[in-house]
Amino acid sequence: MGTAVGAVDNKETARSLADLNPSVVFVLGGPGSGKGTQCANIVKHFGYTHLSAGDLLRAERNSGSENGTMISNMIKEGQIVPAVVTIKLLERAMLESGNDKFLIDGFPRNEENRAAFEDVTKIVPSFVLYFDCSEEEMERRLLSRNQGREDDNVETIRKRFKVFLESTKKVLEYYNAQGKVRKIDAGRPIEEVFQSVKGIFGPKNEKAD
C-alpha cells in the first residue's frame, strides 16, 4: 500500500514537537506587504527560523517523492492541498531545523488551516504578526518590482489582494479576540517598519553579535 498524503509517524512527531515546546509566530500580510523582507530581518536579529508554507509545498512537489507527486497531481487537477499535508511539512521542517523559534509565513491562510494546525500540532502560536498595507501601496510595489510582468498586472494583483483579505479575515478575528494580533503599518519604508517589528520582539530576544 502507498503512503498516505503527508503521512509521518504521528506519535513520534507529536512527541518530538512537544519536547521542543517551540515558540511559533504566524506571519500574515498581503502580496507586496514586505513580509518576506521583514522575516529575513527577524531571522538575522532574533534568531528565528523562517518557514514559508508555500515554499515547503513547492519543494516537496519538486522532490520527486510520493508525497510530491500527489501534491503535484492535486494542484494540476485544481484541487486544494489538504491543510494536514502542509502542516506535516511544517512539522518536519521544524524538527529538522534544530531551532525552537519559528516564523511561519503565509499560514494559516484560512480558518480551516488555523484549526487544523492547532489540532494536529497541539501548538498555539505566541502571536500573529500582521503586516497591514493598503491595496494601492501593494499594487505600486508589485508593479515596480516586477516591472509590469504579465502575471503581475493590476487585475491579477487586485484579485490576489481580495482573496487574501477574504481568506484571512476569520483567522485575524479569531486571534484578535485572544489579544494575539500584532498589527504593523507596512506602508512605510523598510527600516521604519523594522523598528516597529523590533519593538514587538523586544531587545531581550535580540541575538548578540
For 155, residues 6+ apart whose C-beta sits below 8 A from its C-beta are: none
81 is in an annotated binding site: yes
Whether 149 has a binding-site annotation, put simply, is yes
Quote the CA–CA distance of 49 and 24 in Å, as a whole number: 10
171 annotated as belonging to a binding site for a ligand: no
Residue 106 labeled ligand binder: yes
Task: Please give the C-alpha separations between residue 63 and each of 27, 56, 57, 194, in angstroms, as whole numbers.
Answer: 26, 10, 10, 34
Q: Annotation-wise, does 167 bind a ligand?
A: no
Asked whether residue 16 is marked as a ligand-binding residue, the answer is no
d(CA 158, CA 160): 5
Rounded CA-CA distance 154/143 in Å is 8
Q: According to the annotation, is 33 in a ligand binding site?
A: yes
Is 109 annotated to bind ligand? yes
Please tell me whether 80 is known to bind a ligand.
yes
Q: Is 145 annotated as a binding residue?
A: yes
Q: Provide the phi-psi class of 176: left if phi over 0, else alpha when psi is between -120 and 50, else beta.
A: alpha
Residue 178 known to bind ligand: no
- What residues are paired with 101 via a beta bridge? 23
Q: Tell me whether residue 68 is annotated as binding.
A: no
204 is in an annotated binding site: no
Numbered residues of the known binding site for CMP: 113
Numbered residues of the known binding site for ATP: 32-37, 145, 188
Numbered residues of the known binding site for a ribonucleoside 5'-phosphate: 58, 79-81, 106-109, 149, 160
Numbered residues of the known binding site: 32-37, 58, 79-81, 106-109, 113, 145, 149, 160, 188
